Amino acid sequence: MNGLVKRAFRYRFHPSEAQAAELSRTFGCVRKVYNLALQARAEAWTLRGERVGYEATSALLTAWKRAEELAFLAEVSSVPLQQALRHLQTAFTNFRAKRARFPRFKSRKKSRASAEYTRSAFRWCDGALTLAKMAEPLDIRWSRPLPEGVLPSTVTVSRDAAGRWFVSLLCEDPGVTPLSATDSVVGIDVGLDHLLVLSTGEKIGNPRHERRDRTALAKAQRALCRKQKDSNNRAEARVKVARIHARIADRRTDHLHKITTRLVRENQTLVIEDLAVSNMVGNHRLARAINDAGWRQFRQQLQYKADWRGRDVITVDRWFPSSKLCSVCGALAVSMPLHVRMWTCGCGATHDRDVNAARNILAAGLAVTVCGAGVRPQRNPPGGQSATKQKTPRREP
């Protein structure tokens, strides 16, 4: 890790009526500018084969503000509108690099309501934050202090589906420094019966946050379905459903933060599987449980915290047969159905399915670092399977 880490500190705040109205107008204008710019860039490419960049859309924004039907764009701060054009440019860059899909239009009902302010569009004075076009500072609930002596470089204001308002302050945090090196290594196997199983034998339970509120969520969703579309009662019922989802998501995020922080502090090297979660949720029998477990969020948190603290995260090929491979002798079982939790190898070793998988993941990850076994599977691996062998070999008739 080189230099200071840029870190976002997120807080809830309660806007006044005037501030809420101003921010709502800003959200709408940001969405409008993004959609107009996306349409202009798509039409230029489709009709004329021309690529339109940020500079051209910025000039278009000036023309849009002068048009009578879009004069309302000039009533809000211009900085969030310019930032929307920059975000669109980033979206096209990621699309051309095949890191993302083609940018999509923002929806008033489904898209995230947010606006980004740079330093020229807000005032920070003695812990009080005042945004452009506002006379009073935001009423922020300071759940934790900002790093001493730092100034936010970017402020992002958002409103979620549950009607909660958040402000995110991007700062350079001098407190994020690498931890002292340690010899501890751990393999991690994610699951549903247990959220995580470590190669040390430790099992971390799955709280199943969604199941705790499943009855209340079903009741709220039934009430929502009975309401007339586009009515005020339906809007209120939708907010009730969103609040339950938000409560579930908050508990899940908090639990994962505690787990990932502990793992990064205690271990120098962490080995995990490269799971394709988006493909796995295609199984409708397991999709609900997988989404509730938060495997994708777990990996994201583990990765960036390891980068901050000078730890190593190694990923093992998703097709590596960690559950079917004996961690003692290396023999590969022909099949291993999900209902089999304990099994005995031909060598006489009895394995807990998840603990055995975690130990195999650790061994494969260490093999990747030592001899590069994860780069390309061996065609004739000595002594059995390579670290990334993907399927059980067929038996000759």
Is residue 364 a contact partner of residue 327, using CB atoms and an 8 Å limit?
no
Angstrom CA distances, 34 to 28, 77, 82, 86, 106, stand at: 10, 15, 9, 9, 7
Distance between CA atoms of residues 300 and 257, nearest Å: 10
213 classed as catalytic: no
Residue of 189, 210, 292, 317 with catalytic role:
189
Is residue 369 a contact partner of residue 279, using CB atoms and an 8 Å limit?
no
Nearest to 194 by CA among 357, 328, 335: 357
Is residue 199 a contact partner of residue 359, using CB atoms and an 8 Å limit?
yes
Residue of 22, 116, 210, 273 with catalytic role:
273
**CA atoms within 13 Å, Cβ hemisphere of 211:** 8
Kindly state the DSSP code that residue 120 receives in the 8-state scheme.
Answer: G
Nearest to 298 by CA among 284, 277, 312: 277
376, amino acid identity = R
Nearest to 209 by CA among 296, 301, 289, 277: 289
Q: Which residues pair with 314 in a beta bridge?
A: 271
Distance between CA atoms of residues 78 and 117, nearest Å: 9
352 classed as catalytic: no
Residue of 22, 210, 317, 354 with catalytic role:
354
| Tokens (6 digits) for 335 | 């099949």
273 classed as catalytic: yes
214, amino acid identity = R
Catalytic residues: 189, 273, 354
